[in-house]
Every structure is written in structure tokens, then in C-alpha cells.
Amino acid sequence: MQAICSSFSGLRLSPAAPRAQGAGRRELAVQASVQAPAVDLPVRKLDGSEAGSSSIALRVADPETSNGLVHRYLVHVQRNARQGNASTMTRGEVRGGGRKPYKQKGSGNARRGSKRSPLMPGGGISFGPKPRDWSASMNKKERKLACATALHSAAGDMLVCADFSDMAEVKTATLLGALSAMGVDAKNEKVLLIVNEPNQNVYLSGRNVPTLAINTSHAVQVYDVLNADRIVVEQSALAYLNEWFSQQA
């Protein structure tokens, strides 16, 4: 999977055709996204047999800005996940310190005016954390474009499977067996399973597998996409992804 770097150069501004002299300042054309070429994906049935092929073709970020855009979206998600409730007490908030601990001179110790000093056990904390809001804003069009870019960059590790709607029992071995038959080792690889609709049986069967993440096509998480070694997508979910992420932002 393509590595995500930490640089962000913004949208590329390319000069349009120059106008005649005296017509004023020339215009700038903003190129924010491009239609990526289709990538063929193998299709497997739940028993592992081949069922043809499919393709994924999404509208992705411009190559010059894609890394920075996806990185900014990942930072946005991680910042918004922080609770920001860490809190410490300063020397003005801890208890005690009403009297001088010991006399000013003659004890051989340093001069102390209060036992609430940060230098003493039980005293306040200097420059400690206080509750704060870590959230960062990012508009919907950018988030959509960044998620599409991350998905398309992971197409080489993607596999399409038949829908799990016929899975009638809640059993981890059944889910892992179906993935193994398709050549996906969910025990030793980090796997992302994208289903089209919430499936209670699939969720209950896979929630106790630490290396397996389950997303719906309507709520694909960019962190799970970037973190996964293999991505398994239901056929109906792939159709939704192609339709939603191919629309012009």
C-alpha cells in the first residue's frame, strides 16, 4: 500500500491560457480530483471458487496532493477520537500549604514557603495537561476525496467476494473459514471486511478477532483502510463504492 507522507502542498493551481493585454489578472484553474483508471479485482465465492472479475474506478485526489490530503484526513480522525479530559492540579488547586513547612533558617534545607510547591511530594504540577478540545475541522468534500484516494491506492490488496447475507449462524470459525478459502488469513494478517449493509451475524462472528475490522460501505473508516494488509469487499458494497466515490465532489 502506498505510504502516506506528512507533507501537504494544497491543491495544485495551474495557470489558464493567458488573456489579451489589458484584460486584467489571469485566471487560475483549480484541479482538485481526477478520475482514476479502472483496476481489475478478482471475485471469489464464499467457498473460495472463482466467480469472474470486477473493477474499481474512483475519483481520487490529484497525484501531487493525494499523500498530503490522506494524511490530513487521518490526523483529523485521530484528533477527533481524543477525549481531551486529562487534567492535573496546579499548586493553587492542591490541598494544604497554609503554613510554612519549617523555619526559614537553621534547618539546613532549602527555603520553603508552602508544601504545595511542585518541588515537593504532594504538591502541584507545573505545566500539566488540562481538559481541551483536540478536534480538527475538515470539509466533507475533502474527506470524501481522501477516503476514495486511500481505497484506490489499496486496490492491489483488495478482493471481491459474494455477499455474506446467507450466513445463517453466528460462528467465528465459519467466518474465518470463508476468508481462508478465499486466500485471506485473518489470524496472521490485518483484514478489513467491507459489507454493504449491517449484518449482525457477521459482526458477532468477527468482533472477537483482533486483526479483523468490519466496516459498512456507507461508513468506510480511512484508518482501517490504511491499516489493513488485505481488504475484502462484498460485490454489492463494491457497486456502492464505485457509485458514491466516482461522483464529482
Q: Which residues contact 126 (CB under 8 A, 6 or more apart)?
A: 90, 118
- Establish if 124 belongs to a structural domain: no
DSSP designation for 19 = P
Q: Give the Å distances, CA to CA, from 133 to 68, 79, 136, 202.
A: 23, 9, 9, 35
- Establish if 48 belongs to a structural domain: yes
| Number of domain units in the chain | 1
- Establish if 148 belongs to a structural domain: yes
Q: pLDDT for 56-96, tens place per residue? A: 888 888 888 888 999 999 999 999 999 999 999 999 999 88
- Establish if 210 belongs to a structural domain: yes
Mean pLDDT of 21-39: 59
Residue 39 structural domain: 30-61+140-244
- Establish if 182 belongs to a structural domain: yes
Amino acid letter, residue 114: S
- Establish if 15 belongs to a structural domain: no
CATH number of the domain encompassing residue 154: 3.40.1370.10
Residue 112 to residue 100: CA distance in whole angstroms: 7
Q: pLDDT for 209-240, tens place per residue? A: 999 999 999 999 999 999 999 999 999 999 99
- Establish if 233 belongs to a structural domain: yes
Q: Is the pLDDT of residue 46 over 90?
A: no
- Establish if 216 belongs to a structural domain: yes
pTM over 0.85: no
Full 3-state SS string of 125-169: CCCCCCCCCCCCCCCHHHHHHHHHHHHHHCHHHEEEECCHHHCCC
DSSP designation for 65 = T
